[in-house]
Amino acid sequence: MSKFYVFDFDGVVCDSTYECLVCSSNAMQKFHGDSNYKHYLSEFPDELIQSFSSLRSFVKGGSQYYTLYKILNSEMNIGKVTQKVFDESHKTFLIESETYKPLFYQARKELQEFDFSNWLGLHTVYEWVIDFLREQLIQDRLMIATLKDKDSVLKILKYYDLEINPSLVIDQFEIKTKLQALNRIIESKKVPKEQIIFIDDNIAHLLEPKNAGFNCFLASWCSVSESTIRLANEQNIDILEDLKRFTNK
């Protein structure tokens, strides 16, 4: 039985931690009516980079960076934050985070326009993943389901010489959950869910699809916390360190 691959983007195809740090920081400035923007990683203190990086993998979409900063500015021990703790914290900031959300994507667009090469350089792209995507694209066995904006995804892939039809990317403006994306894919592509291989680095995106009968895999090659690994094991979600199990290499 042939497989059909559905990939998340941030944390799977590339590590966008630094890009999200810059964009989310500038969005917080916008939120508070301040125009003191930063554009380069070197403008951020190492302590903030480290603490931001430790929480990024819990974020499910642009709005939740508001919650991330609320946690960073609280007295909470970030070393004890789990996905469940993060999600519970986010529930207390639903209104504010929705106001913040468009500011995050505006900040990303402005960062691209300010210095596109710098924006690209804030991503660490896993070229071996790009190579795998290219192989599946040739065989019409690939879609991307992401809470990143489609335009940014296409720009990054194009830079790495991977031209992809925009219809094969489902982004955060089209879906609210990854399960919703997967259900759209099996309907539009006429692919049985048993053939779907869904790969994401955020455990919260994998739980619903797993319970719905999809084949779910946690990508661990980016910044995945120990608590996420434990939860994946508890939920019988396979953990991937690479893509070799799908390439027979």
| DSSP character string of 42-102 | GGS-HHHHHHHHHHHTT--SGGGHHHHHHHHTSS--GGG--HHHHHHHHGGGHHHHHHHHH
* Band of pLDDT at residue 78, cut at 50, 70 and 90: very high
- Per-residue confidence (pLDDT) for residue 248, from 0 to 100: 65
* Band of pLDDT at residue 225, cut at 50, 70 and 90: confident
Cβ pair 32, 226 in contact under 8 A: no
d(CA 16, CA 13): 9
Give the residue with greater pLDDT, 103 vs 225: 103
Cβ pair 56, 81 in contact under 8 A: no
CA dist 46 → 25, 81, 229 (Å) = 14, 20, 26
Length, in residues, of the chain: 249
Reported as a single tens digit per residue, the pLDDT across 129-139 is: 999 999 999 99
Q: Is residue 47 classed exposed, middle or buried when 0-12, 13-18 and 19+ CB atoms within 10 A define those classes?
A: exposed
- Per-residue confidence (pLDDT) for residue 100, from 0 to 100: 98
| 137-164 mean pLDDT | 95
60 pLDDT exceeds 70?
Answer: yes
d(CA 31, CA 89): 19
**Could you tell me which of 141, 160, 143 has the C-alpha nearest to residue 9?**
143
Cβ pair 132, 246 in contact under 8 A: yes
Beta strand residue intervals within the chain, DSSP E: 4-7, 14-15, 124-125, 142-145, 169-170, 196-200, 215-219, 238-240
**Mean pLDDT over all residues of the chain?**
94
Cβ pair 111, 35 in contact under 8 A: no
- Show the domains of the chain with their CATH numbers: 4-15+125-246 (3.40.50.1000), 17-121 (no CATH)
247 pLDDT exceeds 70?
Answer: yes
**Could you tell me which of 194, 196, 218 has the C-alpha nearest to residue 206?**
218
Q: Which two tokens stand for residue 113?
A: 């326009």
208 pLDDT exceeds 70?
Answer: yes
Reported as a single tens digit per residue, the pLDDT across 162-178 is: 999 999 999 988 988 99
30: which residues sit within 8 A by CB, 6+ positions away? 103, 106, 107
- Per-residue confidence (pLDDT) for residue 1, from 0 to 100: 61
Reported as a single tens digit per residue, the pLDDT across 14-43 is: 999 999 999 999 999 999 999 899 999 999
d(CA 26, CA 24): 5
* Band of pLDDT at residue 249, cut at 50, 70 and 90: very low
Query: At 226, phi and psi to the nearest 5?
Result: -65, -35
**217 in helix, strand or coil?**
strand
223 pLDDT exceeds 80?
Answer: no
- Per-residue confidence (pLDDT) for residue 183, from 0 to 100: 96
133: which residues sit within 8 A by CB, 6+ positions away? 5, 7, 13, 142, 157, 162
- Percent of the chain at pLDDT > 70 equals 99
| 6-20 mean pLDDT | 96
- Per-residue confidence (pLDDT) for residue 173, from 0 to 100: 87
